Amino acid sequence: MKKVIVSRLQTIPVKGVHPDLVMSGMIVEREISVEDGKVIIPVHVPDKFEGDLSELQKAIEEKIKPVEGVENLLVVLTADRPAPAAPEPPRLKKRPTEAKGEDKRPEMAPIPGIKTIIAVASGKGGVGKSTTSTNLALALSGLGFKVGLLDADIYGPSMPKLLGIHEHPRIEGDVVYPVEQYGIKVMSMGFFMEEENPLIWRGPMVVSALMQLTREVNWGDLDVLVLDMPPGTGDAQLTMAQQTPLNGAIIVSTPQDLALIDARKGLNMFKNVDVPIFGIIENMSTFICPHCGKPSDIFGHGGAEEDARRLGVPFLGAVPLHMDIREHSDAGTPVVVSQPDSPHAQIYRKIAMQVAARLFPEDDEG
């Protein structure tokens, strides 16, 4: 199938660059991902490109979608400048200008239909951020909100596994619809790639894909979009924080000192781009032995709560390291839906109520 795709791409002319997309270097064959009907085509758009990016994307889709075996197609456009014909996005708010000079950071544009967006982040991987995002989204849904969950971890998407989703997003024309599971809407790069195959992309391609997953998906009407951020504080994270109208951010960390150091970096990144910090969650706070029921502080205990107090941000709660959470996450049945009356589900629900109070203070007052 890949050879057919490449041959079709070679028939698309590129004005001002080269006779076709492949020969121009705008599309590199080895970067095209073709797995089980899911096709991802990265496009590098040079400064000298004279065409319209939206028209280019449409031309690629018209050539590739009819190819036999193509079930899902994602065209990722990476450019150093916006499309010439693209309208200027509406400004959500004007960022404060510091005395040292004009603020050059990108303006943010609202996402149609989405009332609020909360980012769940960590300074490093392996702290249970995605499990926390999933259960938080489900707990918010349980409170009666319309909730979406965006898996923004391009290199290590985990939402299809955590939520037991095996279907692909519905695509009608140029519109992608999120998959619905357990009452929430979900979008992840994992829907477009095989679980065990690595995605080898450069930074600009990742940023472009994230923007498409955020803005080119028909989310419908949502009260809350939970954004499961990729770990770290690099270009992808900074771009998402700057160009997505975030109402607040939650930092997830384990209690150990090494994790807390990175968590502080993530917290400061959001502060530097004027995103309110809703609080810190201490994950894997205490290990509860499934045999004797006694607690063991494998990663320490209380470190995140102490950090929150020292940094002057709310401490949202401590989630234990428990077999039930791990087993249900691996099975695609998160504890908030599979064990709604369990102590673990109650912890996530209490965190969700604190988040809802920050997102919708008028409802809390009423």
* 297 — pLDDT class (breaks 50, 70, 90): low
Do 15 and 147 fall into the same domain? no
Do 35 and 167 fall into the same domain? no
Do 188 and 255 fall into the same domain? yes
Do 58 and 165 fall into the same domain? no
The count of C-alpha atoms lying within 13 angstroms of the C-alpha of 73, restricted to the half-sphere facing its C-beta, is 23
Do 73 and 138 fall into the same domain? no
Among candidate residues 83, 32, 80, the one with its CA nearest the CA of residue 56: 83
Do 214 and 133 fall into the same domain? yes
pLDDT, one tens digit per residue, over 132-161 is 999 999 999 999 999 999 988 766 677 888
Domain end call among 23, 58, 79: 79
Q: Is residue 102 part of a domain?
A: no
Do 153 and 75 fall into the same domain? no
Q: How far apart are CA 231 and CA 182, in angstroms?
A: 25
Q: Taking CA 243 as the corner, what is the angle to CA 242 and CA 248, rounded to the nearest 5 degrees? A: 60
More confident residue, 294 or 283: 283
Q: How far apart are CA 214 and CA 176, in angstroms?
A: 11
Do 207 and 328 fall into the same domain? yes
Q: How far apart are CA 336 and CA 342, in angstroms?
A: 8
* 99 — pLDDT class (breaks 50, 70, 90): very low
Q: Residue 23: which CATH number?
A: 3.30.300.130
Do 70 and 207 fall into the same domain? no
Do 122 and 75 fall into the same domain? no
Among candidate residues 121, 123, 200, the one with its CA nearest the CA of residue 155: 200
Q: Is residue 23 part of a domain?
A: yes
Q: Does 279 score more than 60 pLDDT?
A: yes
Do 48 and 196 fall into the same domain? no
Do 7 and 152 fall into the same domain? no
Q: Is residue 35 part of a domain?
A: yes
Q: Is residue 8 part of a domain?
A: yes
Q: Is residue 303 part of a domain?
A: yes
Domain count, the chain: 2
Q: Is residue 89 part of a domain?
A: no
More confident residue, 223 or 31: 223
- The predicted pLDDT at position 85 comes to 38
Domain end call among 79, 102, 137: 79
Q: Is residue 250 part of a domain?
A: yes
Q: Is residue 330 part of a domain?
A: yes
Q: Taking CA 231 as the corner, what is the angle to CA 228 and CA 236, rounded to the nearest 5 degrees? A: 85
More confident residue, 17 or 308: 308
In DSSP notation, 92-149 reads S-PPPPPTTS---SPPP-PPTTEEEEEEEE-SSSSSSHHHHHHHHHHHHHHTT--EEE
pLDDT, one tens digit per residue, over 304-361 is 677 777 777 888 988 877 677 878 788 889 989 988 999 889 999 999 999 999 998 8
- Cα–Cα distances (Å) from 273 to 239, 242, 328, in that order, read 10, 6, 36
Residue span of the structural domain in which 204 resides: 114-365
Domain end call among 64, 79, 94: 79
Could you give the angle at which helices 323-330 and 129-142 cross, rounded to 10 degrees? 90
Please name the amino acid found at residue 50: E
pLDDT, one tens digit per residue, over 209-263 is 777 777 778 999 999 999 998 776 556 677 777 778 889 999 888 775 454 566 6
Q: Residue 158: which CATH number?
A: 3.40.50.300
pTM check: above 0.85: no
